[in-house]
Amino acid sequence: MDIQALERKAAEMRKTTWEMIYRAQNGHTGSDLSCADILVALYYQVLHQTAESFSDPDRDRYVQSKGHAVEILYSVLADRGYFPKEDLLTYSQFNSPYIGHPTNHINGIELNTGSLGHGLALSVGIAKAGKLDGRDYHVYTLMGDGEQAEGSVWEAAMAAGNFHLDNLTAIIDHNRLQISGLTVNVMNSEPLADKYRAFGFDVVEIDGNDMRQLVDTLQTRNTPGRPKLILADTIKGKDISFAENRPEWHHKIPTPEQYQQGLAELDEQIGGLVHAK
Amino acid sequence: MPNSAKVGDIICTELIAAAKKDRNILALTTDSRGSASLNPFARALPDQLIEIGIAEQNSVTIAAGLAHSGKRPFAFSPAAFLTMRSVEQVKDDVAYSNTNVKLMGISGGNSYSYLGNTHHSLQDLAITRAIPNLEVYMPADQFQARALMHYLVQSEHPAYVRIGKRALADIYTSEAAAFQRPGQGNVIADHGNDIALVAAGETVQVALDTAAILTQQGIRAQVIDLVSIKPLDTDLLNRVADQTHRIVTIEEHSIYGGLGSAVAEALAPRGDTKVDIIGFPDEPAIAGTQDEVFNYYGIDADDIAARTVRQLTH
Ligand SMILES: Cc1ncc(C[n+]2csc(CCOP(=O)(O)OP(=O)(O)O)c2C)c(N)n1
Ligand SMILES: [Mg+2]
């Protein structure tokens, strides 16, 4: 897909997510919108994986460590055919597998996340297994920046460097916010780039809401022997004007008026991207 | 006085009052001040709130270091992360080293509903109960929460408190009746000696409702609120066993290792009392609201009453 088409897809996925959250009155709105472009770049352009080949041992792997941004993941997986789109209607309903964090009862989801600080270590295990088995799949994991406070992240980072996992790419959704406010104020984890470099990673800093930069960076092979960290500067709540950079939109649910306004803004986005062709 | 309240709000109010008098009282949060209802504390006493970030293990052990140095920390995190991710920190740095840390487990049990099993704490009682030198409490209403806080702010003992999310209807009419001291449970309804229903926290109301249904069916039940899961009121349990020889335990926890297990362990040596343990089965909990999930697993008054009638009449 060309960059424009991917951008349009990201806007559509934001809309699906916005609708899903409003319908269920449940979800992590700001966290989803923040990383929509990252997921679209991965699932439509980068990952060697399809709905049909999900059990293929050579598939690329994606582990979403920031599991709370599950609505955008469901939106993308449904659109990529991992399960019927109608399933999204059961999100947050009694006895549905589509709950507020990823579970591997759902086709396309590798492992159950939601407790922060697990995804990088899971990915180290998967990448190490790939090395042991001589398979050349690549492992991608997406973390939050607030999540960087968990010590387990750094144990895993050390292991990734130690094992020279050049089949591993970690992405930080660097939106500078967590539930209680600015990450620098809650628990300052900066400078993240320097820290990951010190742990043996190549670090690339990009605009994480810029599709071209995302695709280019994700498609560049790792330096032999080195894991890669993409520090993706993003805007939490991206593309809903009144949610952007607002900590309360971490898991705020739109009112009926906000919902309509948000829909209008997203529709305008989608429309603009059609005409620009 | 409202007839229902969120335990978290009560705890915040009490903690502010105590922390104004005793500057050594600290609240530790892990990006959890909102869900811990601690925003008023953060506004009133910003210097006595220490934000640790999303690092529950770190929070528990930092709290232990603070306590060792004369502080009186209350460490607030979601119960699932506080008791399970940080269990070794709790066992070694708090309980074993005997540091005066109060572990405040918020959004406990199944109260995160649709967020799923990563967020549920349905094993926290099994874990904390098995750790020596750790008291374990489950407040059932605002009076009990208040009385428990009066105890906790002056106690020198490590303790874990499991707190739910939703507002709880009043069970008690006074603090004195709600909580007296560690290891004392309460008989909160006494219709007779056919059976005793034992509960703690949110299921105390379920037990009361069950007793009401049973009364209509001619079965006279006692209702016991344990509140102190550890130490356990074994005197009370033995007295109740003498009278009824039949106990039903009701808990928002796995049927393994929680309140039912505690009661069964205490009464097993007698050999004369049946204990029916009602709680979450040994499987990942189904998705739903708390009420839907309770109903699904038969942790609701109608189901428990029907099950009890069946057992008593067969
Ligand atoms: C171990 C653990 N602690 C706490 C939480 C609760 N929680 C969910 S999301 C979140 C904030 C995450 O912030 P960040 O990592 O910056 O992610 P963002 O949503 O900003 O992308 C917290 C504290 C959790 N899910 N897991
Ligand atoms: Mg963030």
What pLDDT, in 10s, does the model give residues B42-88? Answer: 999 999 999 999 999 999 999 999 999 999 999 999 999 999 999 99
Q: Which DSSP letter does residue A90 get?
A: G
A177 lines ligand 1 (CB under 6 A): yes
Task: Give CA torsion, residues A259, A94, B212, B181, to 10 deg.
Answer: -80
Residue count of chain B, please give it. 314
The minimum CA-CA distance between A176 and chain B, rounded to whole Å, is 13
Are B218 and B262 within one domain?
Answer: yes
Q: Are residues B130 and B212 in the same domain?
A: no
Is B164 in the same domain as B190?
no
With contacts defined as CB-CB under 8 Å, which chain B residues touch A112? 117-118
- Summarize pLDDT for B273-302 with one digit per residue, the tens: 999 999 999 999 999 999 999 999 999 999
pTM of the model: 0.97
Nearest to A234 by CA among A214, A208, A252: A208
Report the pLDDT value the prediction gives residue B305, as an integer from 0 to 100: 98
Domain boundary among B106, B141, B169: B169
Compute the residue count for chain A. Answer: 277
Ligand 2 centre from A141 Cα, in Å? 15
- B176 occurs within a structural domain: no
Give a yes or no: residue B237 inside a domain. Answer: yes
CB atoms within 10 A of CB B235: 12
Q: Which chain A residue shows the shortest CA-CA distance from B120?
A: A115
For B33, which of A100, A147, A180 is closest by C-beta distance? A180
Indicate if ligand 1 lies below 6 Å from the C-beta of A189: no
Is B77 in the same domain as B41? Answer: yes
Q: Mark out the alpha helices in B45-187 (DSSP H runs).
A: 56-68, 79-80, 87-88, 124-129, 142-152, 175-178
Q: Enumerate the β-bridge partners of residue A140.
A: A62, A169
pLDDT in the model for residue A88: 98
SS3 for A19? helix
Tokens 């904390």 found at = B128
pLDDT band at A274 (very low <50, low <70, confident <90, very high): confident
**A116 close to ligand 1 (CB < 6 Angstrom):** yes
Q: What is the pLDDT of residue A239?
A: 98
Is B39 part of a structural domain of the chain?
Answer: yes
Residue B2 pLDDT:
58
DSSP letter assigned to residue B50: E
Enter the tokens of residue B81.
Answer: 């992360």
Among B115, B144, B169, give the residue marking a domain's end: B169
For residue B49, the domain's CATH number is 3.40.50.970
Residue with tokens 């006494």: B190
Structural domain includes residue B207: yes
**Which residues pair with residue B195 across a beta bridge?**
B221
Chain B hits for A146, CB-CB cut-off 8 Å, are: 31, 53-54
Q: B238 CA to middle of ligand 2, Å?
A: 52
Which DSSP category does A152 fall into?
Answer: H
Report the chain B residue with the minimal C-alpha distance to residue A28.
Answer: B115
* 15-34 of A, contacting B, C-beta below 8 A: 24, 26
A70 CA to centre of ligand 1 in angstroms: 12
Full residue range of the structural domain in which residue B35 is found: 4-169
Q: Which of A171, A178, A252 to mutate to test the pocket of ligand 1 (most atoms within 8 A of CB)?
A: A178
- Is pLDDT of A185 > 60? yes
Last residue of a domain, one of B146, B169, B192: B169
pLDDT number for residue B313? 87
Rounded CA separation B128/B150 (Å)? 22
Is beta strand B274-280 parallel, antiparallel or unpaired with respect to B246-254?
parallel
Q: What is the phi/psi pair of residue B248, to 5°?
A: -115, 125
At A57, list the tokens: 């041992």
Average pLDDT over residues B12-35: 97
Q: Is B33 on the interface with A (CB under 8 A)?
A: yes
pLDDT level of residue A277 (50, 70, 90 thresholds):
low
Find tokens 């309140």 and name the residue: B259
Calculate how close chain A gets to B174, using CA atoms only, in Å. Answer: 35
Q: What is the pLDDT of residues A100-109, one digit of tens each?
A: 999 999 999 9
Q: Which amino acid is at B86?
A: S
Query: Which of B119, B78, B164 lies closest to B284 in space, CA to CA?
Result: B119
| Residue B10 Cα, gap to closest chain A Cα (Å) | 21
Question: What is the model's pLDDT at position A93?
Answer: 97
A with B: how many residue pairs have Cβ under 8 Å apart?
A: 85
* Domains, chain A: 3-275 (3.40.50.970)
Q: Please check whether residues B96 and B230 belong to one and the same domain.
A: no
Q: Within this chain, do residues B24 and B155 fall inside the same structural domain, yes or no? A: yes
Residue B134 burial (10 A CB sphere; 0-12, 13-18, 19+): buried
What atom of ligand 1 comes closest to residue A178's alpha carbon? 13
Q: What is the mean pLDDT of residues A158-184?
A: 98
Share of chain B above pLDDT 90, in %: 98
B233 and B304 within one domain? yes
Residue that is written with structure tokens 């016991």 in the block? B224
A189: nearest CA partner in chain B? B53
In a domain, B174, yes or no: no
Q: In what order do the strands lie in the sheet containing B228-230? A: B49-51, B25-29, B72-78, B102-106, B159-162, B135-137, B228-230
In the predicted structure, residue B1 carries a pLDDT above the cut 70? no
Q: Which of B37, B52, B54 to mutate to test the interface with A (most CBs of A within 10 A)?
A: B54
Span B196-243, pLDDT tens digits: 999 999 999 999 999 999 999 999 999 999 999 999 999 999 999 999
As a three-state string, the secondary structure of B193-238 is CCEEEEECCCHHHHHHHHHHHHHHCCCCEEEEECCEEECCCHHHHH
The DSSP element (H or E) to which B97 belongs, if any, is none
Residue A49 has what pLDDT?
A: 97
Q: How many domains does chain B have?
A: 2
Residue of B31, B57, B288 lying closest to A180 (CB–CB): B31
- Residue B186, φ and ψ in degrees, nearest 5: -125, 140
- pLDDT tens, A187-242? 999 999 999 999 999 999 999 999 999 999 999 999 999 999 999 999 999 999 99
Q: Which helix (H) or strand (E) holds A168?
A: strand A168-174
Q: Are A187 and A226 in contact (CB under 8 A)?
A: no
My answer on whether B26 and B153 are in the same domain is: yes
CA distance B156 to B169: 30
Residue B314 predicted with pLDDT over 80: no
CB atoms within 10 A of CB B193: 15
CB within 8 Å of B101: residues ≥ 6 apart:
B60, B63, B64, B67, B73, B75, B93, B94, B158
pLDDT at B171: 98
What pLDDT sits at residue A276?
A: 63
Does B32 reach chain A within 8 Å, measured CB to CB? yes
* Residue B88 sits in the same domain as residue B132: yes
* CA-closest residue to ligand 1 atom 19: A31
List beta partners, residue A91: none
Mean pLDDT over each residue of chain B, to the nearest integer: 97
Per DSSP, which regions of A210-251 are E strands? 228-233
Chain A residues in contact with B118 (beta carbon < 8 A): 67, 101, 112-115
Distance, CA of B12 to CA of B34 (rounded, Å)? 11
Q: What percent of chain A has pLDDT over 90?
A: 97
* Contact list, B57 vs chain A (CB under 8 Å): 151
Residues from chain A that touch B288, judged by Cβ atoms under 8 A, are 94-95
Q: Is residue B25 part of a domain?
A: yes
Q: What is the largest CA-CA distance in chain A?
A: 54
**How far apart are alpha carbons A77 and A107 in whole angstroms?**
8
Reported as half-sphere exposure (CB side, CA atoms, 13 A), residue A231 has a value of 17
CATH number for the domain spanning B253: value is 3.40.50.920
Could you tell me if residue B175 is inside a domain?
A: no
- The whole-number pLDDT of residue A168 equals 98
Say whether both B13 and B162 belong to one domain.
yes
Regarding whether B187 and B153 lie in a shared domain, the answer is no
Closest chain B C-alpha to A189 CA, distance in angstroms: 10
| Distance of alpha carbon A225 from alpha carbon A230, whole angstroms | 16
Q: Is the same domain home to B156 and B198?
A: no
Given the DSSP bridges, would you call strands A202-207 and B49-51 parallel, antiparallel or unpaired? unpaired
- Pocket probe for ligand 1: among A147, A182, A209, A235, the residue whose CB has the most ligand atoms within 8 Å is A147
